[in-house]
Amino acid sequence: MTGSFDLRLLYSREDIAAMVRALAARISADYAGKELLVIGVLKGAVVFLADLIRELTIPAEVDFIGLSSYGDGVTTCGEVEVTAFPAASIESRHILVVEDIIDTGLCLDALLKFLAARRPASVRVCALMDKPARRQVKVEVAYSGFTLPDKFVVGYGLDFAQRYRQLPQIYTLEEAPVERQLASDD
């Protein structure tokens, strides 16, 4: 993507809060009586994770994992590498991976392999958003929030070239009309 962009509101604060509450209720019910280790995927999932854990009614330890993504602001992980390791031990734990969005599935696939090698008791995934039309590898998402068309979204933790993460709502990034781009070039 080049040129200039418009942000178009996709999910409001209220839409997001309702979805976070619904996901947290399902997770709390499913893991009742168990000790959960929530692992957020840096950096995009940080805002979602912060809201999600505050809606859980079960005990949960929180940790993070960092994955490298090669490419520009829009394309996602072609080759995936773990760049920041969780401090907690994974072995014999019930793991909930928290992701902002599942696109090709390549990041999540690599992450699930990384976790499986460390012999957890169980692993499930919670993703706020999913773009199933873009999937390149099959991944199972137990707790899936909004299903999106093939649109690039920003805000609520998600960035475009490290911008827009701090916006409290979720927007689609739309290419600005060509006339306006030309006008703003001079």
Q: Which residues bind ligand IMP (CB under 6 A)?
A: 41, 44, 76-77, 99-108, 152-154, 158
Q: In angstroms, what is the minimal distance from the CB of 69 to ligand IMP? A: 6
Q: In angstroms, what is the minimal distance from the CB of 180 to ligand IMP? A: 23
Q: In angstroms, what is the minimal distance from the CB of 4 to ligand IMP? A: 17
Q: Which does 105 bind (CB under 5 to 8 A by kind): Mg ion, ligand IMP, none?
A: ligand IMP
Secondary structure of 132-167 in HEC code, one letter for each residue = HHHCCCCCCCCEEEEECCCCCEEECCECECCECCCC
Per-residue interface string for the shown chain with Mg ion, residues 38-57, x marking contact by CB under 5 A: ---x--x-------------
Q: Which does 51 bind (CB under 5 to 8 A by kind): ligand IMP, Mg ion, none?
A: none
Could you tell me the two tokens for 141?
A: 């998402």
Nearer to ligand IMP, 31 or 152 (CB): 152
What 3-state DSSP class applies to 127? strand
Write out the catalytic residue numbers.
Answer: 103
Nearer to Mg ion, 37 or 157 (CB): 157
The helix (H) or strand (E) run that includes residue 51 is helix 46-55
Residue 40 and residue 32 in contact, taking contact as beta carbons nearer than 8 Å: no
Q: In angstroms, what is the minimal distance from the CB of 57 to ligand IMP? A: 26
Residue type, 90: I
Residue 25 and residue 55 in contact, taking contact as beta carbons nearer than 8 Å: yes
CA–CA separation, 147 and 133 (whole Å):
10
Nearer to Mg ion, 51 or 100 (CB): 100
Residue 35 and residue 149 in contact, taking contact as beta carbons nearer than 8 Å: no
Question: Could you say which residues in the range 70-129 bind Mg ion, by CB under 5 A?
Answer: 100
Residue 25 and residue 52 in contact, taking contact as beta carbons nearer than 8 Å: no
Nearer to ligand IMP, 59 or 149 (CB): 149
Interface residues toward Mg ion, by CB under 5 A? 41, 44, 100
